[in-house]
Amino acid sequence: MNRVKNITVLIILIIFLLSVAEIPVTCVFYSFTGIFCPACGMTRAFKAILHFDFLEAFHQNILSIPLFLFLIFFILTLCHEIWRNQFELIPKLLRFFEKHYGMILLLLFLSFVINNLK
């Protein structure tokens, strides 16, 4: 069952990264409020990263490069776990988020502030 979960997550992440370059996305939060959310610009930033324009990616969303690197690490680790039939990453990641949710919320808040100051 864990193998199926990991393969499903892996497929979703790969489809997401491949579709970022092709599908225009509109921020629902911005559409309703006129205020940029913490993730505003992330799609444009990922598209810039895929074109090796890291300065533009940083300009679009300050968290884009670390998040993109994390997603690549996550995908590679999932592939490795599927290959070795060991499934530890997702439970470890959930424990990390549970333990450090305050830091994650702070990063999201900072991204929200920075997105609305530019």
In angstroms, the Cα distances linking 30 to 51, 60, 85 are 25, 15, 42
Q: Which of 33, 36, 29, 31 has its CA nearest to residue 112?
A: 36
Residues 6+ apart with CB under 8 A from 47: 20, 21
Stretch (H or E) spanning 4: helix 2-20
Residue 81: predicted pLDDT: 85
Tell me the pLDDT tens digit for each residue of 27-43: 888 889 999 988 888 88
What pLDDT, on a 0 to 100 scale, did the predictor assign at position 1? Answer: 66
Q: Report residue 89 as tokens.
A: 């990453």
Answering whether pTM is above 0.75, one says no
Phi, psi of 115 (to 5 degrees): -60, -35
Q: What is the pLDDT along the chain (118 residues), one digit of tens a residue?
A: 677 877 888 888 888 777 776 777 778 888 899 999 888 888 889 889 989 999 999 999 999 999 999 988 988 888 888 888 887 888 888 899 899 999 989 998 998 899 898 7
77-87 per-position pLDDT tens digit = 888 888 888 87
- Cβ proximity of 39 and 61 under 8 Å: yes
What is the pLDDT at residue 55? 95
The DSSP line for 57-76 is HHHH-TTHHHHHHHHHHHHH
DSSP per residue over 32-57, as a string? HHSS--TTTTHHHHHHHHHTT-HHHH
